[in-house]
Amino acid sequence: MADEEVNLYDEVEIEDCFYDETLQIYHHPCPCGDRFEISIYDMRDGEDIARCPSCSLMIRIIFDPVCCARPHMSEAKTNTRQSDLPPENDDAPKSVAIAA
């Protein structure tokens, strides 16, 4: 999203967020008492806006997306740059669409 389209409450470094390894989300306290949330999968897709599910506030998460995408096998051996994001966990629960 372009900055003019989003009214952000704040910008927060990823180091100041909490990571829930089970849910694969980063979260940060919201002034309303709930918390801002963003999934690791959204961040790997380039999303940097965390939303609070209880109010309309949003924050931008500042992080280095280097190596967020899955590297090709040949690149994996030579790639030494680090990302701010944790490694992918293939055992983590994924989103599932349920049709009624």
Question: CATH number, domain at 44?
Answer: 3.10.660.10
* pTM attached to this predicted model: 0.63
The reply to whether 89 falls in a domain is no
Per-residue pLDDT, averaged over 61-82, amounts to: 54
The reply to whether 41 falls in a domain is yes
Q: Is the pLDDT of residue 76 over 50?
A: no
pLDDT band for 64, please (50, 70, 90 cuts). confident
State both tokens at 64. Answer: 């280095």
Residues 6+ apart with CB under 8 A from 85: 14, 40, 43, 44, 63, 65, 68
β pairing state of 18-20 and 25-29: antiparallel
Alpha-carbon span 60 to 37, nearest angstrom: 11
Q: What is the pLDDT of residue 92?
A: 57
Better-predicted residue by pLDDT, 54 or 69: 54
